[in-house]
Structure 1
């Protein structure tokens, strides 16, 4: 999963997957999910939620690597310097009721750029979420699970007043609310093995302005006083998991996101010491990533997933390759 959580044309892809799968549903009631194990893919969240009184914990270890970026025309360029980080993300989900699941995501990172490094692992932002299951799946999974969610991101990571080492900042200061709609379904293939697909659509309205002081993750100089107006976000992701047997599962996933323009405003001291007005528009960004992975299940309650997420297209955003591994544990 990334330490990261958002990703619209993709709805078409999800509909196409569902349409192609419909012929395979005939006779699906004869199948059973006994002995079939899934951990879930790397990015797209689980719309089925947790049974009441049960919990799911899935710590991630992610290596972020970036040495290029996409410009305003979508062309890729070398950055001239490699940036990387070790990121840990800890999602904890708990079933509050038959249809309600609560989840919290904690994160921390240790960043590197050239010879510079952050001072150990630094706390990132935190996300809390409540999900409501509109339609529960049936026993063989052929009836789709459909859920809506509401998540709130809290600015627990540092993002301004970073006059020392700028790599110590691991947050963005944005208190963001996100609405989500997810769907998941099992399709039984002619060989008798299940393929589970899921999709997620998310939307986040533009949140309140974030006050900024001194140096910040937005490149403001020392002495700056002002704010940034964050843009809205749209995201979509879809994934498929094919169960080879009770232990091994192959995964393929894609995700896309779009952020609108942001506006940076404020004052900073000039060379003569007088305050100078700063008004800067930060153009909107787009990002498309793929994430193949493989799962191995030690038991029905414990599974390991390892894969890599990488960008294939973008605009005004960095290009990255992120190997990652996560251990899912059901209690």
Structure 2
């Protein structure tokens, strides 16, 4: 792990430590409830949809489905990227869930033509295996290992005069994650659910032709190799009532250098030969926060409304992303 990634992860862990230090002594000595009190909230009386960003460390019981569609708008200078991301997960056997995450998008830009229509993004396949499970009175959190494969289903090159049609990366990307989840009981008897997820992504190279999401022009022919990506998410959910939950994610992301190489056959200077192109994006990193509110009609169905804010960090453009999601388990 690079020094910059260690610094980002340490920042999230320090934040977690400071917050847990503010919880009274009985919550520090163990993440289990104190002796039974008349006002003590039971785990079955706390209903959740999950925070906006952090994945659950739980797996579905065999034969059960989770369906969770998100609608969002990634707002950056000059661009609104409208999209949908739907988690479709299935409990295959004990401790193992598998799933598909279809993605669709549409870009609205202020300095050029918008997307020609709603298009496919890069879809994902996912498998998660639960290693441990939290029980009241135990220090052990729920921990799972997750494997995700991103498929290059979104358009990324040969965009012509509509760069806004670019909704994919063109590369296969493998992501390995460790997801964890535990519970604290606060002095008023309500539950604070906490998640800490850490992941690393590895991308293959891809051929690039013409106008692309990597900033190449119509005369370019070459390839791209995205750098590895690191992501950490520390999330808290406070059970305000049985149905209402307040949630916040704190995130840190770091991406290594993306390298674009090839030939440009344009001839702006009457040069008779193709020009060699070598472009390096440099590494990038940014912190973010995603406050949200959850409402649950039943333990199996709820809705989340939140906003992710990415602060413009090193070589990174800030963004604001309002989102709504429906969570249904059956």
Normalised by the size of structure 1, how large is the TM-score? Answer: 0.88
Is 2:103 aligned against 1:107? yes
Structure with the largest fraction of strand = 1
Q: How does 1:281-292 map to 2 (within 5 A)?
A: 281-292=280-291
Question: CA 1:17–1:127 in structure 2 vs 1: closer, same or farther (change >3 Å)?
Answer: farther
Partner-residue secondary structure (3-state), 1:34 = helix
Structure 1: distance between partners of 2:288 and 2:239: 23
Aligned to 2:234: 238
Aligned to 1:8: 9
Contact 2:312 2:319 in 1 (8 A): no
RMSD: 2.0
Question: CA 1:291–1:92 in structure 2 vs 1: closer, same or farther (change >3 Å)?
Answer: same
Structure 1: distance between partners of 2:283 and 2:141: 34
Is 2:170 aligned against 1:176? no
Aligned to 1:310: 309
After superposition, what is the alpha-carbon deviation per residue over 1:165-224, rounded to whole angstroms, capped at 9, x for unaligned? 11111001121111101110111111111110001000123x322110111111111121
Question: CA 1:156–1:250 in structure 2 vs 1: closer, same or farther (change >3 Å)?
Answer: same
Q: How does 1:62-81 map to 2 (within 5 A)?
A: 62-67=72-77
Structure 1: distance between partners of 2:139 and 2:51: 19
Contact 1:159 1:169 in 2 (8 A): yes
Structure 2: distance between partners of 1:259 and 1:270: 31
Structure 1: distance between partners of 2:322 and 2:161: 30
Contact 2:31 2:137 in 1 (8 A): no
Partner-residue secondary structure (3-state), 2:44 = coil
Contact 1:310 1:321 in 2 (8 A): yes
Aligned to 1:73: none
Aligned to 1:22: 28
Aligned to 2:48: 38
Contact 2:60 2:91 in 1 (8 A): yes
Aligned-pair distance for 1:13?
3.8
**Alignment length (residue pairs):** 310
Q: How does 1:232-271 map to 2 (within 5 A)?
A: 232-271=228-267
Is 2:217 aligned against 1:208? no
Aligned-pair distance for 1:99?
0.9
Contact 2:293 2:305 in 1 (8 A): yes
Aligned-pair distance for 1:29?
6.7
Partner-residue secondary structure (3-state), 1:117 = coil
Structure 2: distance between partners of 1:277 and 1:307: 45
Farther-moved stretch of structure 1 (213-222 vs 110-119)? 110-119
Aligned-pair distance for 1:27?
4.3
Structure 1: segments with no counterpart, 5+ residues = 1-6, 68-81
Aligned-pair distance for 1:138?
2.1
Structure 1: distance between partners of 2:215 and 2:93: 45
Partner-residue secondary structure (3-state), 2:164 = helix
Structure 1: distance between partners of 2:215 and 2:198: 31
Aligned to 1:88: 84
**Which consecutive segments of 4 or more residues in structure 1 shift more than 3 A?**
11-21, 23-31, 139-143
Structure 2: segments with no counterpart, 5+ residues = 1-7
Question: CA 1:50–1:18 in structure 2 vs 1: closer, same or farther (change >3 Å)?
Answer: farther
Structure 2: distance between partners of 1:224 and 1:217: 12
Aligned to 2:320: 321
Normalised by the size of structure 2, how large is the TM-score? Answer: 0.88
| 1:163 equivalent among 157, 160, 163 | 160
Question: CA 1:141–1:42 in structure 2 vs 1: closer, same or farther (change >3 Å)?
Answer: farther
After superposition, what is the alpha-carbon deviation per residue over 1:32-89, rounded to whole angstroms, capped at 9, x for unaligned? 212210110011100112122111111111011112xxxxxxxxxxxxxx21121111
| 2:135 equivalent among 135, 138, 158 | 138
